[in-house]
Amino acid sequence: MSQVSILFQSFQKFIRQSPHEACHRFDTGGVWRNLVVRSTATRKKMASVIIHPQEMPEDAIQEIMKDLRHYFFDGEGSECELDSLYLQAW
């Protein structure tokens, strides 16, 4: 299995454990929108998590980023060996 596939599976596991729902349509709620992954020839990996913050306060968005960082750099998702992680809220 490729490293990118492992990353997508790990992200899927993260959002299933999350208290937030996936955003399937903007008018029906949900937070998790998309995951964009880029990799280089030298095997560096970057992930950009895109969320729809709905009416979330800024501190709740920061909490999501903290949880993502912990999961992918210190927790279960560290097996993905990400080099950088970004969060886009729009």
Name 79's Cβ contacts closer than 8 Å, sequence gap at least 6.
Answer: 6, 10
What pLDDT, on a 0 to 100 scale, did the predictor assign at position 34?
A: 94
What pLDDT, on a 0 to 100 scale, did the predictor assign at position 3?
A: 83
CATH assignment of the domain containing 23: 3.30.70.1350
Whether the predicted model's global pTM rises above the 0.95 cut = no
What pLDDT, on a 0 to 100 scale, did the predictor assign at position 77?
A: 97
What pLDDT, on a 0 to 100 scale, did the predictor assign at position 2?
A: 86
Q: Show the domain range for 23.
A: 3-89
What pLDDT, on a 0 to 100 scale, did the predictor assign at position 90?
A: 84
CB atoms within 10 A of CB 8: 14
| pLDDT tens, N- to C-terminus, the chain (90 residues) | 788 899 999 999 999 999 999 988 767 789 999 999 999 999 899 999 999 998 899 999 999 999 999 999 999 999 999 999 999 998
Number of domains within the chain: 1
Biggest CA pair distance of the chain = 41
Dihedral angle computed from the Cα positions of residues 24, 27, 31 and 36, in that order, rounded to the nearest 10 degrees: 50
